[in-house]
Amino acid sequence: MSETDLTEPELDTTQLDEDDRLKPAFVRAVLDAVEAGDAAAARALVEPLHPADIADLFELTPHEDRAALATAITDLLDGDVFAEMNDYVREDLIDALSATQVADIASELDTDDAVAIIEDMEPADQREVLRALDPDDRAAIEEALSYDEETAGRLMQRELIAVPEHWSVGDVLDYLRQHDELTTDFWEIFVVDPAHKPVGTVALSWILRTPRGIAIGDVMQREQTLIPVDMDQEEVALRFQKYALISAAVVDPVGRLVGMITVDDIVHIISEEAGEDILRLSGAGDGDINEPIHLTVRTRITWLVVNLGTAMLAASVVGLFQGEIGRFALLAVLMPIVSGMGGNAGTQTLAVMVRALATNQLTSSNTGRMIYREFRIAAANGVMLGTIIGIGTFLIFGNAHLAIVIAMAMVINNLIAGLSGVLIPVTLDRLDIDPAVSSAVFVTMMTDVMGFFSFLGLATLFGLGS
């Protein structure tokens, strides 16, 4: 597939705000030109932009104006722009283009970016685009599509440089200079044995600094991190992060080199995977602000209905004590404090544990230590909060029994919050269930139910409301 220009214009940053995003006035100027039918003016504005900023322009343009914008600046819409675009916005645009146009764009890209464009299309459209591609490009993309989504096989590019161990540095230089069709998007060279299995890697800086006569086998680094082709992209990202990799060889089940993943394809995944925990924990799905609204509503309402179930369960616990509440309504005033504070403390522990699990910091070697750690934190916080609320209750209402009951309930519910905040995500993780998705429901259920039960139950034991 093709190469980028050697001499691109200087990056024009005058249209960007301090966050590197396009200024509203600029977006408006482009859309005004499009609406006025002045495609030339729109093109003149957009042309100096970096592909990532053209992609942004589409994200910042309301859904209904995107097709008109695309028509006005079609010739600026190259593969790089699509590669940088948000998934939903890209789907929007791809729907508006013909199969031949999509094939033209895909053929400009490395396999991984081409696959990202094609994988979300309807099967019929996909076949049409594949038919319009060169046989070589088609074969590479079809092979990539044969791997599961979100695996190394989908992420990798097939374009890479692999050389035999007996070549000299000079052989490598000559090979690279003589073969124009090779990719330029590489940072390391892979050294392979006759069976095409990787035996080492050489960073390009080493090749540049080594005299021509030296054998590549003598400068290569034998220690290397290989990525199995079926590895999940989250694990790939963690491996890149842990070993500070720039690129890595991808190998098939028998160990042959089949592709390469570079770190620039990984940074998006690291950010997405780290950011999605917060969204999953709150039940906001993938939380993409470009998602069609009916899909967002569906994701969020599902989670809310599940939570409605647990809220009703907690309410039924309160229902057990209706008699006491009727006789002593102050119990109803104070009970949300106990359950709410338990919920807050549980969420703190949960957030820490979900991150520690996601980054592989919480492992079987230190789980016991972490449970004990959270128990001590919960005990310390529970005693402090219980003391504050107990004293406060006594000062305001002058009822010593009520003060003791709420203080005790606060300690109990903090311990329950701390323990469920660590045990629930760890257990779900052991069962191969994503703790970020499911933990919060269970933790909130525990802190609500036990918050109400401990407070109202202790109140009953102490004869309050009787």
Cα–Cα distance between 144 and 130 in angstroms, integer? Answer: 12
Smaller CB separation from a copy of itself, 130 or 318: 318
Cα separations in angstroms, 109 against 84, 99, 258: 12, 16, 18
Cα–Cα distance between 306 and 299 in angstroms, integer? Answer: 11
Cα distance from N-terminal residue to C-terminal residue, the chain: 81
Cα–Cα distance between 175 and 212 in angstroms, integer? Answer: 12
Q: Minimum Å distance from CB 389 to a copy of itself?
A: 7
Q: Minimum Å distance from CB 74 to a copy of itself?
A: 22
Q: Minimum Å distance from CB 62 to a copy of itself?
A: 6
Do the beta carbons of residue 227 and residue 251 sit within 8 Å?
A: yes
Smaller CB separation from a copy of itself, 133 or 389: 389
Here the tokens at position 318 are 């309160």
Q: Minimum Å distance from CB 126 to a copy of itself?
A: 26
Smaller CB separation from a copy of itself, 103 or 251: 251
DSSP-assigned states of every residue in 63-126: GGGHHHHHHHTGGG--HHHHHHS-HHHHHHHHHHS-HHHHHHHHHTS-HHHHHHHHTTS-HHHH
Smaller CB separation from a copy of itself, 126 or 262: 262
Cα–Cα distance between 194 and 27 in angstroms, integer? Answer: 55
Backbone phi and psi for residue 250, each to the nearest 5 degrees, phi listed first: -105, 130
Smaller CB separation from a copy of itself, 131 or 369: 369
Do the beta carbons of residue 246 and residue 187 sit within 8 Å?
A: yes
Q: Minimum Å distance from CB 284 to a copy of itself?
A: 4
Q: Minimum Å distance from CB 443 to a copy of itself?
A: 11
Q: Is the dihedral of CA 33, 37, 38, 40 positive or negative?
A: positive
Q: Minimum Å distance from CB 334 to a copy of itself?
A: 6
Here the tokens at position 280 are 């999953």
Smaller CB separation from a copy of itself, 101 or 348: 348
DSSP state of 13: -
Smaller CB separation from a copy of itself, 139 or 315: 315
Cα–Cα distance between 20 and 18 in angstroms, integer? Answer: 6
Here the tokens at position 358 are 């996601």
Do the beta carbons of residue 22 and residue 60 sit within 8 Å?
A: yes
Q: Minimum Å distance from CB 319 to a copy of itself?
A: 5
Here the tokens at position 209 are 């600094």
Cα–Cα distance between 229 and 47 in angstroms, integer? Answer: 38
Smaller CB separation from a copy of itself, 71 or 316: 316
Q: Minimum Å distance from CB 193 to a copy of itself?
A: 14
Smaller CB separation from a copy of itself, 127 or 369: 369
CB-hemisphere CA count at 13 Å for 103? 17
Smaller CB separation from a copy of itself, 10 or 75: 10
Q: Minimum Å distance from CB 50 to a copy of itself?
A: 7
